[in-house]
Structure 1
Amino acid sequence: MNTRTLLTAGLLMLGSCGVMSQSPKPGTLLVLNKNDNTLSFVDADALKVVKTIPVGEGSHELAVSADGKLAYAPNYATKTHGHSLSVIDVVAQKEIRRVELSPLLRPHGVEERDGKVYFISELTRTVARYDYASDTLNWITGTGQDGGHMVVLTPDGKWIYTANRSSNTVSAIEIGETGSPGKIFQIATGSRPEGIDISPDGKELWVGNTGDGSIDIIDVSSNRIKQRLTVGKVPIRIKFTPDGKRVLVSDNGAAELLVIDAQKREVIKRLKAEGSPVGLLVTPDGKRAFIARSGANLISVVDLGTLDFVGDIRTGNNPDGMAWVK
């Protein structure tokens, strides 16, 4: 595959499907249960699952629209190479569309912006964009890198970054117009980069290197690493707080949740989180965080004022990706 060529074979016209006009309940946490192939709706105040619905096979990551009405889950699959995207009506609490993505295989990390859904295809080394309104894949470009797993958009929506585990790189990709790839830069990182997030002001990209326990801090303006921190064992997910002052890291190897002072570059708290901690979510008000303890079938709740655990949510089998309904 020519990784800089738009995959015209992947442009799909799939027919439209309406979405309910009511507003979803704010303060709902959405949780993907990887081994059950389900999505749970959680009352984040009561800390209880209120409903669980089926989705595609092996969905790992989740994104929700700004109005909270639609959620999107790429179906990575387990026994086969997944090639679909589940679209969920959050109000009706059901999957309303299964988007066929072939020839794009093993879709994973996902971000939504203005009705457009960006995801990475791990096996075809590409990043693609699905437009809900037109029900098409209307932008695809190659990274040329192996093991692309997680993605993040810049706040202005002009660039997307992918963490490429097997190539030990991060790809910085300019989002071109429909049908046109933009510029691509490859940034060498530590070993097996995976967790990735961008600061709220769009100036820094933090990347967790799961192979050597480090975090690379990338200057977005130059796409160069300006600092490398050694923080733990397997920093598999990273999330900034909304004010940009702290960075949360789930360390799967040490079974810990790390809290880092973003300015001082120092770990200020380590919370023990047994049970294979992976997925992370910070609420928009910056008051709470949720960490998926996949091996324990739990979501643990963190008070970001006290930096302590304040509750648990019993979920389905192997919870991971989460999204928040504002």
Structure 2
Amino acid sequence: MKPYVRVAALAALALGLPLSACGKRSAAPTAADGAAAQGAYRVYVTNERSDDLTVIDGASRQVVATIPLGKRPRGIRLSADGRTLYIALSGSPIAGPGVDESKLPPPDKAADGIAVFDVASGKIQRIIKGVSNPEQLAASKDGRLYAADEDAGKLMVLDIATGRTVAQIPVGSQPEGVALTPDGKQVWVTSEGQSQVTAIDTATLKPLTAIPVGERPRNTAFSPDGRRAFVAGESNRVMKVIDTQALTTLNTTTLAGETLKPMGMAVSNDGRTLYVSAGRGGQVLALDAASLSVQGVAQTGGRPWGVALSPDGKLLYSANGPANEVSVIDTATMKVIATVKAGTSPWTVAVVPTVRP
């Protein structure tokens, strides 16, 4: 690199500006490893209706790339090494609760799968098949994908390297939320149709138990130490805290406010605060993780769904579907400090640390 070009690049980095111009496709960042720069990260947003991925620079809050993915991208997970994103794609038509599916267009099953997205190149490397109408998923350190097969009512366990199906585990009708405990020893799957969450031993791939939770549970989140699980029931606003070792309920509360529809969740780095998106309620709530009492409310509007924290926990990002934007929330004040335009119907977000060039 010529000296004057290097100086310009370093100056841009110092100001937190992206080095690539916005457009339909631009250079994606290098994934994090042990040399990750302090506070440097990108926010990746799946857009369900525009079938693409919005990439936002964490420092400048500018969109630096919009990348086509495939039909209905929804759930997104980062690999343990920070180099790969796994993104659920679905050819099934969009349908809300209670919709007569017989009147919908036929599903495009060829579009179903899990996209393996290389963060460094900003490209899909391949599509892993073997799962029908996936919505959410989790990726383990030992090279497995756990994906909810909504059509079959099963958790599909897939080998990432080969794409081979390792196991199919019944978990109740309309499975959605999939999450691994921090130690990777259990995977939890919510069933919307049966209002339960199933805890599965990842060593034996056998269910440990199914625990009743709120109606239409969307997600599970875990405390950083993995001892507590949080499950949100969208329809009746019931929040539960569950002991992951005893597999018993520690606390249950019902969120006040008929318009609140708890969906996405994130837990603070110290484990004291649970952030919950309220869907059609147009808010993101900060709850005390022990008592589940409301400590703060951010007014986002636009039906917030998926949420994710910045690496230092100072900012929370929410994907606001109908508004086609992402809210940036200061977690200290629970105020929206910025909004960033995304694609059409942003569904969820993933935060990926980056390294300097």
Per the shorter chain, which TM-score range?
Answer: 0.7 to 0.9
Superposed CA RMSD: 1.7
Structure 2 unaligned regions, length at least 5: 1-28, 33-39, 94-106
Question: What is the percent sequence identity of the aligned residues?
Answer: 25
Q: Could you say what secondary structure the match of 1:183 adopts? A: strand
Query: Which of 298, 303, 308 is 1:271 aligned to?
Result: 298
Compared with structure 1, are the counterparts of its residues 144 and 41 closer, same or farther at alpha carbon in structure 2 (3 Å cutoff)?
A: closer
Question: How far is the alpha carbon of 1:128 from its aligned partner?
Answer: 2.3
Question: How far is the alpha carbon of 1:298 from its aligned partner?
Answer: 0.6
1:39 alignment partner in structure 2: 53
How is 1:95-134 mapped onto 2 (pairs within 5 angstroms)? 95-101=124-130, 104-114=131-141, 115-132=143-160, 134=161
Distance in 1 separating the partners of 2:349 and 2:139 = 13
Question: How far is the alpha carbon of 1:117 from its aligned partner?
Answer: 2.3
1:148 alignment partner in structure 2: 175
Aligned residues of 1:61 and 1:74 also touching (Cα < 8 A): yes
Pair 1:187-2:214 in alignment: no
Aligned residues of 1:60 and 1:75 also touching (Cα < 8 A): yes
Q: Could you say what secondary structure the match of 2:206 adopts? A: coil
Q: Could you say what secondary structure the match of 1:47 adopts? A: coil
TM-score by length of 2: 0.80
2:261 alignment partner in structure 1: 234
Q: Could you say what secondary structure the match of 2:322 adopts? A: helix
Pair 1:52-2:59 in alignment: no
1:16 alignment partner in structure 2: none
Distance in 2 separating the partners of 1:267 and 1:88 = 37
Aligned residues of 1:302 and 1:309 also touching (Cα < 8 A): yes
Compared with structure 1, are the counterparts of its residues 58 and 268 closer, same or farther at alpha carbon in structure 2 (3 Å cutoff)?
A: same
1:89 alignment partner in structure 2: 118
For 1:99, give the aligned amino acid: I
Distance in 1 separating the partners of 2:173 and 2:272 = 32
Distance in 2 separating the partners of 1:27 and 1:95 = 20
Aligned residues of 2:147 and 2:155 also touching (Cα < 8 A): yes
Pair 1:71-2:98 in alignment: no
Distance in 2 separating the partners of 1:188 and 1:92 = 43
Aligned residues of 1:143 and 1:171 also touching (Cα < 8 A): no
Aligned residues of 1:215 and 1:231 also touching (Cα < 8 A): yes
1:174 alignment partner in structure 2: 201
Distance in 2 separating the partners of 1:262 and 1:251 = 16
Q: Could you say what secondary structure the match of 1:24 adopts? A: coil
Distance in 2 separating the partners of 1:77 and 1:284 = 33
Question: How far is the alpha carbon of 1:157 from its aligned partner?
Answer: 0.5
Question: How far is the alpha carbon of 1:144 from its aligned partner?
Answer: 4.1
Mean CA deviation greater in 282-291 or 225-234: 225-234
Aligned residues of 1:54 and 1:95 also touching (Cα < 8 A): no
Larger Rg: 2
For 2:117, give the aligned amino acid: I
Per-residue CA deviations over 1:113-153 (Å, capped at 9, x if unaligned) read 22432211111122123333x32235223224001101111
For 1:281, give the aligned amino acid: A
2:16 alignment partner in structure 1: none
Per-residue CA deviations over 1:55-104 (Å, capped at 9, x if unaligned) read 12111110112332211111123332553111111111111112222xx3
Higher strand fraction (1 or 2): 1
Per-residue CA deviations over 1:243-293 (Å, capped at 9, x if unaligned) read 101000001132111001113431011122211111111122211110111
Distance in 1 separating the partners of 2:225 and 2:295 = 22
Query: Which of 159, 169, 175 is 2:186 aligned to?
Result: 159
Q: Could you say what secondary structure the match of 1:235 adopts? A: coil
1:17 alignment partner in structure 2: none
Q: Could you say what secondary structure the match of 2:264 adopts? A: strand
How is 1:15-34 mapped onto 2 (pairs within 5 angstroms)? 23-24=30-31, 26-34=40-48
Pair 1:216-2:243 in alignment: no
Distance in 1 separating the partners of 2:185 and 2:312 = 25
Higher helix fraction (1 or 2): 2
TM-score by length of 1: 0.87
For 1:77, give the aligned amino acid: G
2:5 alignment partner in structure 1: none
For 2:150, give the aligned amino acid: E
